Structure 1
């Protein structure tokens, strides 16, 4: 991470990375390792679905780098931060206090629950399953949850969402759009096309044709065709009979 920070961000060892710089480095590390997990990053909050589905769909970690205020997070974003952590696709939020990075995994009331990467412990030696002591396992958790009030957060944050399947990606879009429809100020939106700087391409494989069908069905019509009566992605078929509401469609999916 330090060497790539120098290459992409011009950062010397010991200098802080911003949210987008961090997301970019994670994406590059995954690419260099030819990891089965695809990393998608955005700074303007727009997720371009054609870029994610340009090739055969791979499990994807979406990293949304955001600046949600000047000195502190604008309170208008508090409901979304909390709602985001309840989504099944949520991979948590990286943020923290000024000059102190934290990882947020949940919330209670107006406080976020976090893990602190600055508190280190000796590594636990690898052992066969069932051979770890109680003290070994206890070293991975803390006895007292750590909490921080929303009004103390630094506005630079990275929101993570893991979509292991194409259906999970479509479901994430539905959930985010439902939050926006309810009047919540969200930090992200979805576009069916490519990012302006991305090369245009047309999906050609059967799987991508199914992906294109799913991604263009939001808000969904409740049937893909009169004959099939459903939406198809690869070998998985989602059948929705008759007219249905968007809430029913999300539940069915």
Structure 2
């Protein structure tokens, strides 16, 4: 699941810096280097695993879709290049008030004075059944992939797909063909590549797949997370309008959109960047974290 989270986040970076017609330029190389298996790469396996301890996950423990995205959200606080605002909408609800608070670090009914939009990576963790996918959600998943790729959906190049898989086998779902989901499988062995600045030529073949894999929609594990990328506030408003009219009109909608934080829910607390990590009686700067 760690690799699936990396792929989803990398796709958001591609949308932000390269668009759909991506080219192999300096930004592309920089994206790849952020995911190298080195402790000094911000989104490396090393950093994800160590930050996972803040979510109660020891090194080597299984991460679910929600956990890996919570960890990536925390790491993104140190990302001065992409400057993503990653909002994870819990309880199957996108609460616009909470999302606005994620930008400003304050919770308020009105946008605070220091409110400033940043490129939004909206993640919605879902549990669509107990042990198996509830059949009532199959159509909503299929329609979601179809209409969110439609040109009618705010030019919805912003749909990032979903991470999940089958039991003990994480996958990144990127499309739909008939009754089957198209996915990328991170379990295939790849040659390790050093992408440091000193390399004469970018060797990126192991970061791409030459084949498409698929599986029936109803075979997936019920625990998933779907994700959207909204470059601007106009994109997000258009997404909300379209989702209300089309996606949420399904018999069993995947999620709902709320303007205000429900009074009966626990208070929403935006995650605040910690510039120094406390380790025992010592304070270690981020760059010196080790496994």
- Measured in 2, the distance between the counterparts of 1:59 and 1:115 equals 25
The aligned residue for residue 57 of structure 1 is 117
The aligned residue for residue 245 of structure 1 is none
- Provide runs of 4+ in structure 1 moved above 6 Å: none
Q: 1:76 aligns with which of 133, 136, 140?
A: 136
Q: 1:18 aligns with which of 46, 51, 64?
A: 64
The aligned residue for residue 42 of structure 1 is 89
- Measured in 1, the distance between the counterparts of 2:248 and 2:221 equals 27
1:122 aligns with 2:169: no
Structure 1, unpaired ranges of 5+: 200-253
Structure of higher CA gyration radius: 1
Structure 1 position 132, deviation (Å):
6.2
The aligned residue for residue 226 of structure 1 is none
- Measured in 1, the distance between the counterparts of 2:75 and 2:119 equals 16
- Give the 3 Å change call, closer, same or farther, for CA 39–184 of structure 1 in structure 2: same
Structure 1 position 187, deviation (Å):
1.6
The aligned residue for residue 185 of structure 1 is 252
- Measured in 1, the distance between the counterparts of 2:51 and 2:196 equals 32
**What is the SS of the residue equivalent to 2:190?**
coil
Structure 2, unpaired ranges of 5+: 1-47, 102-114, 149-155, 270-291
The aligned residue for residue 28 of structure 1 is 74
Q: TM-score, normalised by structure 1?
A: 0.68
Q: 1:101 aligns with which of 170, 192, 197?
A: 170
The aligned residue for residue 158 of structure 1 is 225
**What is the SS of the residue equivalent to 1:175?**
helix
The aligned residue for residue 148 of structure 1 is 215
Contact kept? 2:248, 2:254, Cα under 8 Å: no
Root-mean-square deviation over aligned CA pairs: 2.5
- Measured in 1, the distance between the counterparts of 2:222 and 2:215 equals 14
- Give the 3 Å change call, closer, same or farther, for CA 182–42 of structure 1 in structure 2: closer
The aligned residue for residue 235 of structure 2 is 168
- Measured in 1, the distance between the counterparts of 2:251 and 2:232 equals 26
- Measured in 1, the distance between the counterparts of 2:221 and 2:192 equals 30
Per-residue Cα deviation, 1:208-227 (whole angstroms, up to 9, x for no partner): xxxxxxxxxxxxxxxxxxxx
Per-residue Cα deviation, 1:14-48 (whole angstroms, up to 9, x for no partner): 21112222221111111233551010002211111
Structure 1 position 107, deviation (Å):
0.9
Contact kept? 2:248, 2:256, Cα under 8 Å: no
- Measured in 1, the distance between the counterparts of 2:143 and 2:188 equals 27
1:198 aligns with 2:268: yes
Structure 1 position 126, deviation (Å):
4.8
